[in-house]
Amino acid sequence: MKDLLRLRTSLSEEIELLLNEQIKTEAYSSAVYLAMASYCNRNGFDYSAGYLENQSNEERGHMLKIFKYINDLGGRAISPEVVNIPQEFESFKGVFELALQQEIKVTSQLNRIADQCMRLKDYTTFEFIQWFLKEQIEEEYVARRILELFDVIGEEGTGRWQIDKQIPKVSYGESAGEE
């Protein structure tokens, strides 16, 4: 009997499901970053608003990369339903605490995909996911460094104004701490 399942796609059902979940997570991240950008804009943190808008676009780019990969391999990429986006945040610092939590969640999901790829011997997807895992080193590093600005500079006086100005400048060098 012909193997129609394999003719359709080289992705296993489990991996396709996990990748579609990841699409949803990336779309959710993109929407949350946009809501954060709006909050920062409303509260006069212009630099942070710009930074968060860029982050939102980046997350959408990640989503599309996975979306295209699934379709390229003959799978069924699902346009995600994104709901329950928080529109209000407890504070300026709270925004970036949530951003770090979101990045940690993304990393843990990507690790789960990599783990499943190894288990199912799907080395193509394993190779594909490496780019995202590497990207997460940068994402988490930047999110942590931004959060540390709140302690290093301090929020008193013109502190928040200074922090806002510094946020878009935080970047990741190949070795941590490099300027």
Partner 1 sequence: MKDNNCIKIVEVFRTENGSVSQCNKTNSYILEFGGTTCSFKASDFIDFTKRVNSLDLVGMILSSSSVTDVTVLMPPYSERCFVLTLTDVLNLKELLGGAKFSLHLNSVIWECLRPHLYSI
Residues in contact with partner 1 by CB under 8 A are 1-9, 13, 74, 76
Residue linked to tokens 């407890």 = 90
CB of 113 to partner 1, least distance (A): 19
Measured CA to CA, the distance from residue 149 to residue 11 in angstroms comes to 43
Residue nearer to partner 1 on the CB measure, 6 or 112: 6
Residue nearer to partner 1 on the CB measure, 9 or 107: 9
Burial string for 111-149 (b: 16+ CB within 10 Å, else e) reads eebbebbeeeebeebbebbeebeebbeebbbbbebbbeb
Residue nearer to partner 1 on the CB measure, 11 or 36: 11
According to DSSP, residue 169 is labeled G
CB of 82 to partner 1, least distance (A): 20
CB of 72 to partner 1, least distance (A): 14
